[in-house]
Chains A and B, each alone.
Chain A
């Protein structure tokens, strides 16, 4: 394990030195070896007396967004100077640049409620650049609701992350779809990336499984048992309801999308044996890509190139992960032992996250954990070490992975940085499974 990790670290180091432009994040998704920016983010101030609740929501959301971004070392609030700024003329740069704060960057501002609106002014300062410290100055105005306070905090956080994170767009406005049984039947739900705003999408009153956002974010493909059979189904986020999708016949499961909005799925429609199929987003022209006896399913297309498909096959016994070209050629086995399922390509198209019981059998050490593997070198890193973990899905920026974990005794949705750090739980009501992150 330690040997493999060091090999991977060496690889990452090579990758970093050979690429000048962007940090290690975009190449590996792990951020190992990159120095994090020391960022101070004092609570925003207010002068209006009626904004305490919104201010609290805003400050918590902004801090969590920045803290979870994975590219900042947040300066502990106990090191902050006593006088904290709410606007530029209140900033004393040296107080932030010097010990104990030692900040490189300072995010600050104010939030006020005027009439029905909440007005937020936010700045980002480079505290060592005494000549012209301002990196960002933003103004936001929305109806004064808690939801909008969160939205503004997400947008300001994304601006900061974009400026300081190598030009990669932040994920604070991205969404996570998942399956929850909290209403008594398994339905597709959706939430913000930080777990806020959990809302039910489907109302089939049956078993819904396997949600997958379309690349443009307008639809969610899923599996519905409403007819008594496993059928592909489509939910329109624009119309707010299920829309028609043809019945393909046979059992159809595990839909996923290609970057050009075609559908991949597992289907038994022709041979009676589950094989990987590709069809138009409308469900028309289904085409078979695999032809082996045994279970073939859970296809995931390379999100960058669209040229390779990873999937799960039980052709040799326990399920293993395979990769093939998008036309079905060049089949290559990726895992060689244990029980490996749920492959998910990273946005940069170089890594697969997947779920693996590496040592399989009665009394074998270890559990079912999330791993990432470099598909070129086949080097891997284990990211979770507790409970049963499945269904990893990458954030649009490649810095985070959302997954399902049974570590607390029930299945819940968890999120972490792609190096395995900052693992925390996003759901708690009912059983929650099969999370999937939006493409943007």
Chain B
């Protein structure tokens, strides 16, 4: 009785060993002990500083162990340990994935980007002056030429920017909700470039002017009427300084 029990314990232990070795498939019983399972990867990711102003950069630093492939979203494949300067324009969570024979480990780091509201680098006075003197430019439907009623606003903007030759400005091209996503992206580019061209003709340093298009992806309002559509057909100025 006792002997039977003992031998069944031995058999059970042997079976357990086989299962632990990952031999779910039928394989001959191994005589050598199975190799230890591969160590699970570890990963850490940090940003220093983790709060910046728009236009500043921060340093991402990461460390991994036991990983054969390491990548960070929006950056791509990276070395196992390293650091990199990034300059996100909005608050961003960086996400690192470390893959190894022992599994996958993820790590994240949040970088908070202070927007236009209260960036200490740009004094409130500067911001207010910018907002008073550099007004957004509005467009007709499906058009990217500068309307007559927008010319004087652009002239003041040009004069102001020439008085502040070190200030850097982004011109965003926007479109209303009507029409195709893709076509509005190209139209947004043309609108931003049209604004830039006038400023450059007036003597603003082109190196201080960056253009981007958002098409109809970042509307200022969401109503389906002409008042709102007009608000969304614009070249929008953002002070980077």
Please list the residues of chain A having a beta carbon within 8 angstroms of any beta carbon in chain B: 186, 203-205, 207, 209-210, 223-230, 241-244, 250-251, 253-254, 266, 268, 272-274, 294-298, 312, 314, 317-319, 339, 341-342, 355, 390-391, 433-434
Contact = CB atoms under 8 A, between A and B. Distances in A.
B201 to A, nearest CB: 13
Contacts of A250: 189
B183 interface: yes
A268 B189 contact: yes
B93 interface: yes
Contact of A312 (B77, B183, B189): B183
B212 A295 contact: no
Contacts of B213: 230, 251, 253, 268
B142 interface: yes
Contact of A203 (B95, B180, B214): B95
A314 B182 contact: no
Interface residues of B, number: 35
B183 A297 contact: yes
B196 A272 contact: yes
Contact of A230 (B71, B185, B197): B185
Given A266-B185, A312-B186, 20 more contacts: A205-B93, A210-B182, A224-B74, A228-B89, A228-B90, A228-B212, A251-B189, A254-B182, A272-B189, A273-B189, A273-B190, A274-B189, A295-B144, A295-B189, A297-B185, A298-B183, A314-B183, A318-B142, A341-B180, A342-B182
Contacts of B193: 268, 272-273
A154 to B, nearest CB: 28
A355 B217 CA distance: 20
Interface string B157-183: 000000000000000000000011111
A204 B74 contact: yes
Contacts of A226: 74, 92
Given A227-B89, A273-B193, A274-B190, A317 B142 contact: yes
A390 B183 CA distance: 11
Contacts of A341: 179-180, 182-183
A364 to B, nearest CB: 13
Interface in B89-139: 89-90, 92-93, 95, 97
Contacts of B93: 205
A79 B182 CA distance: 49
B interface majority secondary structure: mixed
Interface of B: 71, 73-77, 88-90, 92-93, 95, 97, 142, 144, 179-183, 185-190, 193, 196-197, 211-214, 217-218
A225 B89 CA distance: 10
A355 B196 CA distance: 31
A337 to B, nearest CB: 14
A312 B182 contact: yes
Q: Which of A243, A266, A274 is the most central at the interface, judged by chain B CB atoms within 10 Å of its CB?
A: A274
A179 B71 CA distance: 23
A243 B217 contact: no
A424 to B, nearest CB: 23
A319 B184 CA distance: 10
A216 B209 CA distance: 40
B231 to A, nearest CB: 19
Contacts of A229: 212
A241 B97 contact: yes
Given A227-B89, A228-B212, A434-B181, A274 B76 contact: no
A390 B180 contact: yes
Contact of B180 (A225, A242, A274, A342): A342
A209 B183 contact: no
A339 B179 contact: yes
Given A266-B186, A295-B187, A342-B182, A241 B212 contact: no
A160 to B, nearest CB: 34
A241 B71 contact: yes
Contacts of B181: 209-210, 390-391, 433-434
